[in-house]
Every structure is written in C-alpha cells, then in structure tokens.
Amino acid sequence: MNLLLWNVLLALIWAFIMSDVTARGLAVGFVIGYLVLLFSRPLFPETRYFSKLFRAVALAVFFVVELLKSSVRVAIDVLHPDVERRMEAAVFSVPLDVKSDLGISLLANLISLTPGTLSLDVSEDRSTLFIHGMYVDDVEAARREIKEGFERRIMEVFQ
C-alpha cells in the first residue's frame, strides 16, 4: 500500500480515537502519522515518500510567499497608480523541462494564480509555456524566476 494512503489512514484513526474529526484533528493526525511512518522508515527502504512530502510542503510555502509578494505589488499599483514603478507588460515564452501533464498543468495554474501573471498556452509539443506578465522589465530574468522557482520545485516533487 502507498505510504500516503497509510498516512491518511493513520490520520483518520487518530481523529476517530481523539473524537476530533475536524480539519485540525485530521491535520494533527496526519503529522503524527507521518512521524510514525518516519520512525518505521527502515521497513520502507525504497520509498521517496518522506522527501517528496517535504518538497511538496516547500512548494506550497514557496507559492504562498510568491502569492503574497505579487499581491502586494499589484495592490500597490492599483491603489497608487502614480508610483514610479510602472507596469511593463510582456508576453514571453518559457522552455519547459517538466514533461508530465500533471507537472505542466500545475506550473501553468500556479503561474495563473499568482497576481500579475497569466499562463496563456502550451505549445503543441509541450515544450514551451507562453505567459503574460504585468511586471516584466527583463524577459530573461522573468524566465529565470519561473524556471528556478516554480518549475524546479515542481520537478523535485513529481520526478
């Protein structure tokens, strides 16, 4: 059985034993289940579950930080349009290293959910993602931010 399913099962068992079947109770159960599985790691020598889960959490934290930074930037531009920092919109392409449909979809959605950027299309051969950015002073820097930020973290989780 997949370790993620074991972790969810342990979380459910914990929540029922503690009579706390709420989001908080399930989250606590998930963390406790993770720790139980981590201590029983010698039983699962071939698994990458522990590192992948950590990387998935790191991706989520990275996304929240980027979401907050870009939200503040867009809010400042909306509330104070006369600020020196002007919007320089651009459409640019990003060559993709991530190959799975799930990885490409997640990358496109995370980019679109971040204020100031929008994923427009993926090329037919799934090798290029086209993006519209509101604040693109340097196209190469914007490409590098996406590749070294979102794409690298997505590849760490899914490959």
pLDDT in tens, 124-134: 999 999 999 99
Whole-model pTM? 0.79
pLDDT in tens, 13-63: 999 999 989 999 999 999 999 999 988 888 877 778 888 888 999 999 999
pLDDT of residue 4: 85
pLDDT of residue 9: 94
pLDDT category, 84, cuts 50, 70, 90? Answer: low
Query: Are 104 and 129 within 8 A, CB to CB?
Result: yes
Rounded to whole angstroms, the Cα distance separating 128 from 125 reads 8
